[in-house]
Amino acid sequence: MTQAGRQLLVGLAAGVAAVLLSLLPPAELLELKGYDLLHSLRAKGAPPAEFVLVTIDEPSFAETGLQWPWPRSLHARLIDALSRSGASVIALDIVFAEASSPAEDEALARALRASGKVVLASDIESSVQSGYDREMLVEPLALFAAGARSGITKVALDRDNVVRRFYPTKAGEKLFAEQIAVVAGKGGSVPQSSLISFHYPPDSFKKVSYYQALDPQQFLPPDLFKGKIVIVGKSVSNATGATSDYFATPFMQKGGLMSGAELQAVMAENVISQRFVERAGVPVRIAVLLALALAGALLQWNWRPVRAAVVTLSALLLYLILVLVLFERYGYWVPTFLALPPLLLPYAYAMGEAYIRSEQKRREIRRIFGHYLSPVVLECILAAPDTLKLGGTNVEATVLFSDIAGFTTHTEAMQPEAVSGMLNLYFNAMAKEIFAEQGTIDKFIGDAVMAFWGAPLPDPEHPLRACRAALAMQRALERLNPELVAKGYPSLTARIGINTGKVIAGNIGSEDLFNYTVLGDAVNLASRLEGANKEFGTSVIISEYVYEAVRESVEVRPLGRIRVKGKSEDVAVYELIACKK
């Protein structure tokens, strides 16, 4: 499958996963929190001056000295006072469904008839009878309904007990907010399934206490209520039960609590201005999630972790800005938090795929190099595998060749099992010293060892490391010889040649079988120097190129200049004696 096809398949799978996720209740709850976030981010304007709230609050309880419910004649006084003050609508968020004393009821009914611009509250009571949920509309007494309109004040709570939507009414029923708009002469209705648009946070509307509204000439500025929509309701923050009327709203600050009267003002303002929030339908939401998932998948093209993260987060930010613009300007709500999975799942998939590829590469590197790289060098490569360039690279390296002097003579009378046993002991001792200096063992050839430094990882001290390894190999052989003799093997002598120069380092071979090695004249010269030990009667010979790099760190004996097979010029050589402390 092509990369484009795979990316599109990943996007489609992420989109389907996001759609299925959106059907789960926790996902819907998360999306509702996105709706809340949009309200917190939107620009806040000044609330309309045409609304004034009259709050039944603690100061009013203190001033009246009365317990709830208050006498209806007191509410009648309030209606009269507000009517005289020129209020255009008087909306009482109080349910008067039961009779009190005849005198009190008549006083309220008379005030309602005299005003002619009062809206009373009705409610919905829910009960369970015979295993079925039953709802009953509780309306004001007929005595009161004759002189006022009434509307449902019940609010719809989402599963997290936050108010976000209008209560769904049945045929012939009106919301309290809708009746306010009718009395105000700005009638309108709530479209089906509309959500409340909270343009103002809690405590934004103008408020006065109930006791002040009873005598506005004494307590309030003149003409405060003139031409205003006045909503009367409870606002007792520390109350419970019948006197508590606070609801959670999308606003996160201040706990998001809003009094019932203010909530009715928000809904009435929505109805009058016809500014609601419309949620995108299910088909649109599915289309958006699928489109985001496909876009998220295409953003992972030629995946690189930082670049892909920046691009993905930028796309997410641009989408959220678009969501906010649609919400603020057009009152249209498209998926918010649910946009995260379709955009992020393709990134997560690409990251997981990259991790798997990286682990496969690490295993392949360990398989290829584990037998002939020092553990330190191997771990460096595994920590940063991209530093390893396979296929052939020109580098400067130091190459070491070592073999056993007189090997044929030693072994011609030995059994094959004895020869292999002796070589295993020998090679094991030599390999430890090479690895101790972070060298790479290229190969074992009969009784010879080929190793190099400076590849596959650069090492500025590769000539010195090779020299130290050579001397350590000689000391290790001195320690090993008593063990060899004790086991019936001959005592061994090793000859070593070392050269530094340009080589080609890389994996050489077929696609199915290859070996990491170094090639070039510098390698050939190291092999020739190893053989020259026989002519000079020495153990370790280094070339002039090695000596120039380590002259301050080693003790040598000049051997003169030699011409080796395959070279047109003489090469100065030195016997390596020791490393300076």
pLDDT at 395 over 50: yes
Query: How far does CA 77 lie from the centroid of its chain?
Result: 60
Query: If you average pLDDT over residues 175-194, what whole number do you get?
Result: 90
Helix then strand count (H, E) for the chain reads 19, 21
Query: If you average pLDDT over residues 362-383, what whole number do you get?
Result: 65
Domain positions in the chain are 3-27+280-356, 47-276, 371-579
4-13, 71-80, 463-472, 567-576: which range is least confident on average?
4-13
Residue-level pLDDT at 47: 81
Contact status, residue 290 vs residue 8, Cβ threshold 8 Å: no
pLDDT at 388 over 60: no
The residue among 444 and 355 whose pLDDT is bigger is 444
pLDDT at 306 over 80: yes
Residue-level pLDDT at 171: 87
pLDDT at 243 over 50: no
pLDDT in tens, 524-539: 999 999 999 999 999 9
Residue-level pLDDT at 212: 96
Residue-level pLDDT at 308: 84
Surface-to-core class of residue 356, CB atoms within 10 Å of its CB (0-12 exposed, 13-18 middle, 19+ buried): exposed
The residue among 335 and 360 whose pLDDT is bigger is 335
pLDDT at 21 over 50: yes
The residue among 41 and 240 whose pLDDT is bigger is 41
pLDDT in tens, 94-109: 999 999 999 999 999 9
Query: Does domain 371-579 correspond to CATH entry 3.30.70.1230?
Result: yes
pLDDT in tens, 255-282: 668 999 999 999 999 999 999 999 999 9
Band of pLDDT at residue 241, cut at 50, 70 and 90: very low
Q: How far apart are CA 258 and CA 264, in angstroms?
A: 10
Q: How far apart are CA 529 and CA 542, in angstroms?
A: 7
pLDDT at 234 over 50: yes
Query: If you average pLDDT over residues 404-421, what whole number do you get?
Result: 92
pLDDT in tens, 278-303: 999 999 999 999 898 888 888 888 77
Residues near 302 by beta carbon (within 8 Å), at least 6 away in sequence = none
- Residue 60's alpha-carbon distances to 53, 70, 258, 424, 435, in angstroms, are 14, 11, 19, 101, 90
Residue-level pLDDT at 295: 86
Residue-level pLDDT at 67: 92
Evaluated on CA atoms 212, 215, 220, 223, the torsion sign reads positive
Residue-level pLDDT at 240: 43
72-84 vs 102-115: helix crossing angle, rounded to 10: 20
Q: How far apart are CA 194 and CA 164, in angstroms?
A: 9
pLDDT at 371 over 90: no
Please state, for a pLDDT cut of 90, what percent of the chain lies above it: 62
Evaluated on CA atoms 197, 190, 157, 243, the torsion sign reads positive
pLDDT in tens, 60-96: 999 999 999 999 999 999 999 999 999 999 999 999 9
Q: How far apart are CA 81 and CA 251, in angstroms?
A: 34
Query: If you average pLDDT over residues 353-379, what whole number do you get?
Result: 69
Residue-level pLDDT at 93: 95
DSSP characters over 123-136? EEEEEEETTEEEEE
> pTM of the prediction?
0.65
38-47, 152-161, 485-494, 545-554: which range is least confident on average?
38-47
Token representation of residue 227:
């031409």
Residues near 54 by beta carbon (within 8 Å), at least 6 away in sequence = 78, 82, 207, 208, 209, 210, 213, 230, 231, 232, 233, 261
**Peptide bond between residue 482 and the one before it cis (omega within 30 degrees of 0):** no
Band of pLDDT at residue 326, cut at 50, 70 and 90: very high
Q: How far apart are CA 48 and CA 60, in angstroms?
A: 25
* Average pLDDT of the residues of the chain: 88
3-17, 111-125, 188-202: which range is least confident on average?
3-17
